[in-house]
A and B are shown apart, each in its own frame.
Chain A
Amino acid sequence: MILNGVEIRDSFAEAFPMVGTRLIITADTPDWAMTAGRVTTGFATSVIGCGCEAGVERVIAPEDTPDGRPGVAILIFAMDFKSLKTVVPLRLGQCILTCPTTACYAGVEGGKRVPLAKTIRYFSDGYQISKKFGDERFWRLPVMDGEFVCDEDTGSVEGVGGGNILILARSRGQALHAAEQAVKAMSRVEGVILPFPGGVVRSGSKVGSKYKALFASTNDSYCPTLRGVAATSALPDEVGSVMEIVIDGVSFDAVAAATRVGIEAVCAVGSTGGVVAIDAGNYGGNLGPFHFKLRDIMGGVA
């Protein structure tokens, strides 16, 4: 399959189940809401080292937030529910509670409950105020800029982590440009985040290592400087650089939609923009239950 001169390889992204949640963060200004969103989802590129994967999902207009102030939605994913219950209150306490003017609300209704103020209310040393209307409880924590308002807890979803595309291009500049276009387009898809820096990861990994202590190591088949050196190479001679975009989402469909939008954006850059091919990372199909077959996802376009 070739789209605008870009080869869509007969490959698939292999993804895993993750549990995730959404938080709605509001603040007095859009900038402070985004600051809280960015900081809370910082150091959350990969569960391997960060314990979770997180990102800003979207900006929310004041009229659509629970308190009528500017907001952002963030998604946080972990490998299991126990880890999620650990990382969410930690990040809430260190990054949202501390951020000027913010409030934090549940962004998922159903599913198992992830504690928010239920845990961090004790910061208020007995001065915390609980308000419960219907089945919803929120807390008011006296802080130095006024009150931090925060929902008791939030729901959770069983999502999908590790969807991905690999962009193979002639040069590093061209690979990065195509990746940036893809990130821009994919960021508009609801229910997904791209957890890596700026949405892009340049150090894709394979499973295993020659060093016994390491689970993962550099994806040598896609390293341009190892062509002909590593055991296998997936890169034809004209490819000089590869960028990967990793996608976590609240559902298979959300990740599939983001994959498609990303591929379309890369193909719009096309061979004239230096893009050679689009590939995807997998482990042979036996590890992850979710397979995003690139050609199926793009079916009907070619």
Chain B
Amino acid sequence: MSVVLRLKAPLAARLDLEGVTPAALAGKALAEVEALALPHGGRSVPLGELFAVRAGGEGRLVIEGGDARLDGVGAGLSAGEIVVEGDVGAHAGRGLAGGLLRISGDAGDELAAGMTGGRIEVAGNAGARVGAAPSGARRGMAGGVVAIRGSAGIRAGERQRGGLIFVGGDVGDEAATDMIAGTLAVAGRFGAGTGRGMKRGTLLARTAPELPEGFADTGTHDLVALRLMARRVPDLAALIGAAVTARRLVGDRLQGGLGEVLVL
């Protein structure tokens, strides 16, 4: 069974929704869903106290009315779909392994931290450290796609090791710090200090970011990979467009890195 949760009132404290996924709710009666205990501020409260619960479409969890204090939405999702009509707080889609998380508003910090697969779509902006390593982990997002229509905060793609982050707007300072692999594509502008400590991975940019000393400019090249990505990766089609050449900057060479910034 699938469920629609409607937030009864703005949250007075942070609420952690980690683990509240279509799979976890499957087979539960509405009363059981209402009885689920959620960490809320310093307490544990039944879900039904904060949300009005009703049945919805198959394999789908809908959250009506978001809140910037609604943390951990879609954390641990591995199948099915979670749709949030509003904003979410921190850690949305943390460790997400499959399925789809769609957020119609803004997302807080550490969106998609440690994600390994699946897809996250954010219609608004995202906070700091999109796709970074979750607390206690050394490596960030390893797979899947995060598509943010707006802008993202500082350190997007920090320690990212796979997958694709697409940002329709700008990213804050120090994006791709210590990036291990994967792709961070930004349609707007990068901030200062981009790419420090990059080991591998690709940044796709429309304008050349301000890069640290350790980046070598290899010049502009006709790259067949651009034509392939424009066709094979729907999320990159508009950004790459008909571009067949890119300026390729490689770094961070001061740390032996072979990451690249492709300026379209």
A133-B232, A136-B232 known; A103 vs B224 contact (CB < 8 Å): yes
Q: Which residues of the partner chain A approach B224 to less than 8 Å between Cβ atoms?
A: 26, 67, 69, 103, 146-147, 149
Task: Decide if A130 is an interface residue (CB 8 Å cutoff).
Answer: yes
Docked Cα-Cα span, A132 to B183, in Å, equals: 9
Pair B260/A132 contact, Cβ less than 8 Å: no
B145, B227, B229, B260: the one within 8 Å of A69 (CB): B227
Known: A129-B260, A130-B181. A146 touches B228 (CB 8 A): no
- Complex CA gap A213/B221 in Å reads 56
Note all chain A residues with C-beta closer than 8 A to B143. 132
Q: Once the chains are docked, how many angstroms separate the CA of A132 from the CA of B162?
A: 8
Total contacts A-B at CB 8 Å: 51
Q: Which residue of A lies closest to B227 (CB)?
A: A67
Some 26 contacts from A to B, beta carbons below 8 A apart, are A26-B224, A66-B228, A66-B232, A67-B227, A67-B231, A68-B227, A69-B224, A69-B227, A103-B224, A127-B258, A129-B200, A129-B258, A131-B183, A131-B229, A132-B162, A132-B163, A133-B232, A133-B233, A136-B232, A140-B223, A146-B221, A146-B222, A146-B224, A147-B221, A147-B224, A149-B225
- Interface secondary structure of A, over-half rule: strand
Output the nearest chain A residue to B250 by Cβ-Cβ distance.
A127
- Smallest Cβ-Cβ distance to A103: which chain B residue: B224
Interface residues of A in 123-152 (CB under 8 A from B): 127, 129-134, 136, 138, 140, 146-147, 149
> B interface vs A, CB < 8 Å?
143, 145, 162-164, 181, 183, 200, 202, 221-225, 227-233, 258, 260
Taking A133-B233, A147-B223 as known contacts, 11 extra A-B pairs with beta carbons closer than 8 A to each other, sorted by chain A number, are A67-B228, A68-B231, A103-B224, A131-B202, A132-B162, A133-B145, A133-B183, A134-B145, A140-B225, A147-B221, A147-B224
Chain A neighbourhood of B228, CB < 8 A: 66-67, 103, 138, 149
Residues of A within 8 A of B230 (CB): 68
Complex CA–CA separation, A67 to B232 (angstroms): 8
CB-based contact A133/B225 at 8 Å: no
- Which residues of chain A have C-beta atoms less than 8 A from B183's C-beta? 131, 133
- Which among B164, B181, B223 is the interface contact of A133 at CB below 8 angstroms? B164
Residues of B close to A67: CB separation below 8 A: 224, 227-228, 231
- B residues near A26, Cβ cutoff 8 Å: 224
In the assembled complex, the CB of A151 is this many whole angstroms from the nearest CB of chain B, namely 9
Contact with B along A212-254 (1 / 0, CB 8 A): 0000000000000000000000000000000000000000000
Q: Give me the 7 closest cross-chain CB pairs, A-B, nearest first.
A: A67-B227, A67-B228, A149-B224, A133-B233, A103-B224, A68-B227, A140-B225
By the criterion CB–CB under 8 Å, are A147 and B233 in contact?
A: no
Residue from B181, B183, B227 having most chain A Cβ neighbours under 10 A: B227
Residue in chain B with minimal CB distance to A133? B233
CB distance from B71 to the nearest CB of A (A): 28
- Contacting B at CB under 8 A, from A86-105, are 103
CA distance A133 to B225 in the complex (A): 12
Residue of A127, A133, A138, A140 with most partner-chain B CB within 10 A:
A133
Complex CA gap A78/B26 in Å reads 48
B162 touching A147 by the CB < 8 A rule?
A: no
